[in-house]
Structure 1
Amino acid sequence: MWTQNFVRVLQGASKVAEQLARTQGPDVAAKSSQLSKHATELARLVPYFLNGEGSTPSTSPSAASEPVKTENKTQEKTQVLKEHVIAPTNPPQTLELKVKTEPLKIKLPEVEKKPEPLNVAPPVVDEELPRKVWEEKHVPSSPLSRILGFGGLAARLAVGTAAEIVRSGGKNGTYNALVSDSNAEKLAETLCTMRGAALKLGQMLSIQDEAMIPSKLAVALDRVRENAHVMPKDQLYHQLETELGDDWRSKFQEFDDVPIAAASIGQVHRATLLNGDRVAIKIQYPGVAESIGSDLSNLKRLVTYTNILPRGLYIDEIIRVGKEELTAECDYLNEAENQERFRELIEQSGMSTKYVVPRVYSDLSTSRILTTQLISGVAVDKAVHLSQDVRNSIARRILKLTIHELFNWRFMQTDPNWSNFMYNASTDTIGLVDFGAAREYPKAFVDDYFNIVWAAANEDENTLVDYSIKMHFLTGDESPAMKRAHVAAGMVVGEPFRSHEPFDFQKSKLTTRLGQHTEVFMHGRLTPPPQEVYSLHRKLAGAFLMCIKLRAVVPCRDVLEEVQRQYYS
């Protein structure tokens, strides 16, 4: 029954807090115990929410004897869950824990309104990014504050799920209630506030094609990508003083207190150096680097206890690889080194007329602050209103650079966030930023991987399977259905490179067709993929999605043939 599934979701939230109470210090234990009791009590209230479906809770809150008050308004009904006084299990004689819940308001519109089409203005492509009004929120930097952030999210999702189930009368099922509009908004708000590993995960999900995730969640995650909260001034100045010294302002002619961008790990400010150079200063949020492990563990508990993720996703491997990647990304000196290396590769390859990599100012960079040349332009997803020829040019350059990074340099920037590719119309160049996720790939891995890609491009199923087993994408013992799905997905990915004719990325429905095999992969996989492909496939998928977003129609086979000639010449 859906009620049983819902109780399981609530109990999952309770277990998250319970686990925190066992593994943390006394202060944390006390706070997380409150969250545990809150979620447990919500589970007991399910029959109460449902006006008598099932049995009455054996231990009901004192307020449960009072009827739920209902207000009737035009086209709207509102139910309010009042404050409850909850007696803890085996309490001391004088102890009573008072948990105060926010009013639970459930709106039931008679007719669901369809969203109006977006009216998006053409982008301004030659000017620097305009000043933006940001919402300032203190970054939770202590272990306690971050734990309570995740525990609070679990409780809010439980309440939101209850509200949605009551609203729909249980007709839509627990999963749809869990990914409702209100819960998606709660998730986005929490990720924007927490930042760090949690927000990074949300931003990675936000670049997925709309066909791969629920539309309600996609809208919320898109807000996550564009609207992370920023540090209040006291935290901002503390970070600058800690990294650049108490006299940090004396190092600049001007420093703009209002950021031009905010991301998962840090925010970016404009400044002018004493010599007049315009720079971008990326400042890391406090506590983010130190909390990566605990953040990912808390996220894992949340998704594991609610059974949202299927077995074939190999969440333990994702968490392990994610921790390694995020730890590297939080070291801005490592990013500075990656950025300078990439800039040299661009220049040595004669690509500097097509791509721009900002230079690094090492004397104003630390492990927590990165100062680079300021470049202008717009993120590629804001260039969708430009002419077909320009969009084709941008897409082909992104695709060509991606192939070149992997098979020629074996050194790739693996974060395909739209904002990491800035198009400048006045110079017709693509600015490349954010090299924290850049990494090398072993030659043996790249060589074998090229054979898979070349086999997919030429519809050579036998070679594709042979190298897939060699690289441990498959064990060879998979079910016939799993093998067929693996080959079919490979053929779809190789399609753009199959012909010399221009390939229409949007009409091809690549991501939709790949999504048709997802369920088979999730349940039929016998082994996690090689660890290198987590970052690699993220970048390749991002490059394809950028081509789809730009509605590109471009030839692709010649790009792969250039690599093939080097391998077999």
Structure 2
Amino acid sequence: MSEIVSRRSSRNAKLAKIPLGIAGRAAVGFGRKLAGGDKQEINAELNQKAAAQLFAVLGELKGGAMKFGQALSVMEAAVPEEFGEHYREALTKLQSAAPPMPANAVHRMLDQQLGTAWRQRFREFDDTPAASASIGQVHRAVWSDGRTVAVKVQYPGADEALRADLKTLNRMAGMMGSVIPGADVKPILAEITERTEEELDYRHEAANQRQFAKAFEGHPRFVVPKVVASAPKVIVTEWLDATPVSAIIKQGAEDPAGTVALRNTVGALMAEFHMSSPTIVGLLHADPHPGNFMMLPDGRLSVIDYGACAPLPDGFPSLLGQMVAMAVDERFDELTTLMYDNGWVIPGRTVTHQEIADYLRPFTDPIRTESFHFTRKWMQRVAGKATDINRPEMKTGMALQLPAEHIMVFRVLAGSIGICAQLDAEVPFMKLMQDWVPGYVEHRSAS
């Protein structure tokens, strides 16, 4: 496919293949079970095929479909081993390149956004895209002043496709949740939908990136490329030659023993960037997937793609630090009262502090020590318990809700932790909590 499919009917037809395919395989699987086949083996095979189809379609369509797939891809570490390597590959493919749009379409967009004399602003422009993403692709070029730059160009029709996809995907959320272990797809879709209009206008991204670049200028551990020029559907930024975190994850799988130090460093830097940014910048980078983080040869972490950012002018909410402090101290009676008072319990529902304690216990491993080793096995265990309808904690979970002002924060933290698990990295998680999250130290001291 050389161009984004923009007609709603065409995109809906492709997305409709997902539930039809799943339903068809379920019918075949039912027949095989009646014929005496192994139920567990058949279920695993069907889920694997459903996932492969789901993510193949999401990747092909780009737009909102691919953006949703990329948001899910950071949680691939939670996929149970029995679903196999093919399932994992279907997820991780969404972090890499998608089919490019042709050069003449790129030129037309540059004519519209930078003016018909746009070539005079570049010494060189490579028509072959260096990377592609959900709503745009990146070209390497040389700016008029000699700087090597990255030129991100939005796909023609991306705005219509993104809006159409999100409407369709929201209708399919329940079905998709059944084939994606460990992922609550409804809040992810809600957050992407809320940020849609901002992400479609690259001027918002440019403003966010300028703010990050200014705040982190000269930082010893982080680099944010500076914005060179911007328009509604084109953004030009400094180019950096670096190794994507996705490649480091792959290196770690191939050579676990030889990459321990590198993976720990990357995990710690990513966690520090997410924890410190609200205090340093007043913004939270809200698109955590491995394609947006790269390691420079000098050991610094470079971060790109600022289309999705959450404004946190006062840093992380102090309520978050207070809740973590109470969980660390196991003051679950106080924590339960705090959750009631701040809208974490659905009105009309009832939970006890013992139920809250039992519900949170699987998630609290990282806060029990100063440093924690995030692994796939740990993610799989936590995700398995969180989605097991036979456990009593599921009833507690049904009585809870995530207040709107905390959705983005928790999605970013979950994504960051998911990448740390893919890296198999040990991270000083609680040290970062103490340093950067208001409310934690104060309420630990009070105990």
Q: TM-score, normalised by structure 2?
A: 0.82
Equivalence for 2:375: 506
Who wins on radius of gyration, i.e. which is larger?
1
Once the two structures are TM-superposed, the CA of residue 483 in structure 1 deviates from its matched residue by: 6.3
Say which of 125, 145, 154 aligns to 1:275.
Answer: 145
Equivalence for 1:195: 62
Give the whole-Å Cα distance in 2 for the aligned partners of 1:510 and 1:210.
6
Q: Is the 8 A contact 1:497 1:560 kept in 2?
A: no
Equivalence for 2:121: 251
Once the two structures are TM-superposed, the CA of residue 145 in structure 1 deviates from its matched residue by: 2.9
Q: Is the 8 A contact 1:361 1:371 kept in 2?
A: yes
Give the whole-Å Cα distance in 1 for the aligned partners of 2:173 and 2:284.
30
Once the two structures are TM-superposed, the CA of residue 448 in structure 1 deviates from its matched residue by: 1.2
Q: Is the 8 A contact 1:406 1:446 kept in 2?
A: no
Deviations 1:309-365 (A, max 9, x none): 89xx99776544331122222221001111111122223xxx611100000012xx2
Question: How many residues of Structure 1 are paired with residues of Structure 2 in the alignment?
Answer: 424
Say whether 1:204 aligns with 2:71. yes
Once the two structures are TM-superposed, the CA of residue 434 in structure 1 deviates from its matched residue by: 0.8
Equivalence for 1:534: 407
Deviations 1:376-405 (A, max 9, x none): 211224223564333323222222222223
Give the whole-Å Cα distance in 1 for the aligned partners of 2:185 and 2:379.
25
Q: Is the 8 A contact 2:75 2:419 kept in 1?
A: no
1:213-252 alignment runs, 5 A limit: 214-215=83-84, 216-252=86-122
Change (3 A) 1:370 1:405: same
1:60-71 alignment runs, 5 A limit: none
Give the whole-Å Cα distance in 1 for the aligned partners of 2:282 and 2:333.
26
Give the whole-Å Cα distance in 1 for the aligned partners of 2:114 and 2:4.
20
Q: Sequence identity, in percent?
A: 26
Change (3 A) 1:315 1:513: closer
Say which of 88, 108, 133 aligns to 1:263.
Answer: 133
Change (3 A) 1:374 1:231: same
Equivalence for 1:75: none
Deviations 1:187-207 (A, max 9, x none): 233222211111111111111
Letter matched to residue 206 of structure 1:
S
Deviations 1:519-563 (A, max 9, x none): 357654135311233321221112222322333234433322334
Q: CA RMSD in A?
A: 3.5
Say which of 280, 293, 306 aligns to 1:435.
Answer: 306
Q: Is the 8 A contact 1:333 1:367 kept in 2?
A: yes
Give the whole-Å Cα distance in 1 for the aligned partners of 2:423 and 2:177.
36
Q: Aligned to 1:519, what secondary structure does the other structure show? A: coil
Q: Is the 8 A contact 1:280 1:373 kept in 2?
A: yes
Give the whole-Å Cα distance in 2 for the aligned partners of 1:529 and 1:450.
16
Give the whole-Å Cα distance in 1 for the aligned partners of 2:316 and 2:219.
28
Q: TM-score, normalised by structure 1?
A: 0.66
Give the whole-Å Cα distance in 2 for the aligned partners of 1:519 and 1:374.
45
1:544-559 alignment runs, 5 A limit: 544-559=417-432
Equivalence for 1:519: 388
Equivalence for 1:414: 286
Say which of 457, 468, 471 aligns to 2:328.
Answer: 457
Equivalence for 2:265: 393
Q: Is the 8 A contact 2:163 2:196 kept in 1?
A: no
Change (3 A) 1:547 1:146: closer
Unaligned runs of 5+ in 2: none
Change (3 A) 1:194 1:453: same
Give the whole-Å Cα distance in 1 for the aligned partners of 2:102 and 2:206.
26
Q: Aligned to 1:210, what secondary structure does the other structure show? A: helix
Change (3 A) 1:250 1:388: same
Give the whole-Å Cα distance in 2 for the aligned partners of 1:236 and 1:271.
13
Q: Is the 8 A contact 1:453 1:494 kept in 2?
A: no
- Report the more deviating stretch, 520-529 or 241-250: 520-529
Q: Is the 8 A contact 1:379 1:419 kept in 2?
A: yes
Once the two structures are TM-superposed, the CA of residue 289 in structure 1 deviates from its matched residue by: 1.7
Q: Is the 8 A contact 1:165 1:177 kept in 2?
A: no
Once the two structures are TM-superposed, the CA of residue 491 in structure 1 deviates from its matched residue by: 4.2
Deviations 1:100-159 (A, max 9, x none): xxxxxxxxxxxxxxxxxxxxxxxxxxxxxxxxxxxx532112333323332355555555
Letter matched to residue 516 of structure 1:
K
Give the whole-Å Cα distance in 1 for the aligned partners of 2:316 and 2:298.
37
Q: Is the 8 A contact 1:243 1:369 kept in 2?
A: yes
Equivalence for 2:11: 146
Q: Is the 8 A contact 1:195 1:264 kept in 2?
A: yes
Say whether 1:360 aligns with 2:227. yes
Change (3 A) 1:319 1:495: closer
1:478-489 alignment runs, 5 A limit: 478=349, 486-488=356-358
Deviations 1:430-473 (A, max 9, x none): 00111111111375980112111222233332232222223322
